[in-house]
Amino acid sequence: MSLLDIHLLGSPILRQETIVVPEVTDQLRRLIDDMFETMYAARGIGLAAPQVGRRERIAVVDVEGSVHALVNPEIVASEGTQRGEEGCLSIPEIYGDVDRAMRVVVRALDRNGARFEVEGTELLARCFQHEIDHLHGRLFIDYLSVLKKRAAQAKWEKLREGDRSLTRRVVPRAVAEHHSRDEEL
């Protein structure tokens, strides 16, 4: 398995529509494995293919042990609303409150190409909506008010300070933990 680089805000692929997967091949199963590995190393609860530079309609999710590989996912039912904070592995250190449905039912293919439906509420429902948005070129900052979006963009530009790279490397967890212990000493 491999860690994949994560595309950052400003990378055009994050704004593109994804392509429906006609068949789940061994190559795509390897992509799914790499996406899970990358998501765990980056300490995320979800990851969508455009975030790793891919156009296939695929996302992975692990919210409190509810683990799903979603191929061609679509929301087939939703109800209620919740407001809560979101972050994004493609826009690190930027957070904002977003209104989402409280409960959703997602229909997708699994890693073996079998169709399934899964229900999510609260954080799982939020994560499904965030990841499916990625598959249609939408980011959580699109839902912020004009003022909050402007503030988020200003903070992002300051954080980037002239760094024009469109991707970031994910550090394996063991290495990241080793360095953070060094900093504590």
Q: Which partner, ligand K1U, Zn ion, none, binds residue 45 by CB below 5 to 8 Å per kind?
A: ligand K1U
Cα gap 69→109, rounded to integer Å = 8
Residues 9, 11, 12, 18, CA torsion sign: negative
Residues 163, 169, 170, 174, CA torsion sign: negative
**Does the protein bind ligand K1U through residue 137 (CB under 6 A)?**
no
Catalytic residue chosen out of the listed positions 131, 177, 183, 184: 131
Shortest distance, position 38 Cβ to ligand K1U, whole Å: 11
Shortest distance, position 48 Cβ to Zn ion, whole Å: 7
**Does the protein bind ligand K1U through residue 88 (CB under 6 A)?**
yes
Residues 22, 45, 11, 136, CA torsion sign: positive
Which are the contacts of 56, defined by CB distance < 8 A and separation ≥ 6?
18, 19, 21, 28, 31, 49, 71
**Does the protein bind ligand K1U through residue 69 (CB under 6 A)?**
no
Shortest distance, position 88 Cβ to Zn ion, whole Å: 3
Which are the contacts of 81, defined by CB distance < 8 A and separation ≥ 6?
99, 100, 101, 102
Task: Judge contact between 46 and 39, C-beta under 8 A.
Answer: yes
Shortest distance, position 97 Cβ to ligand K1U, whole Å: 11
Q: Which partner, Zn ion, ligand K1U, none, binds residue 46 by CB below 5 to 8 Å per kind?
A: ligand K1U
Count residues binding ligand K1U (CB under 6 A): 15
Q: Which partner, Zn ion, ligand K1U, none, binds residue 41 by CB below 5 to 8 Å per kind?
A: none
Active site (annotated) includes residue 119: no
**Does the protein bind Zn ion through residue 88 (CB under 5 A)?**
yes
Which one, 33 or 122, has the nearer CB to ligand K1U?
122
Residues at the site binding ligand K1U, with contacts judged by CB under 6 A? 44-48, 86-90, 126-127, 130-131, 134
Active site residue ranges: 131
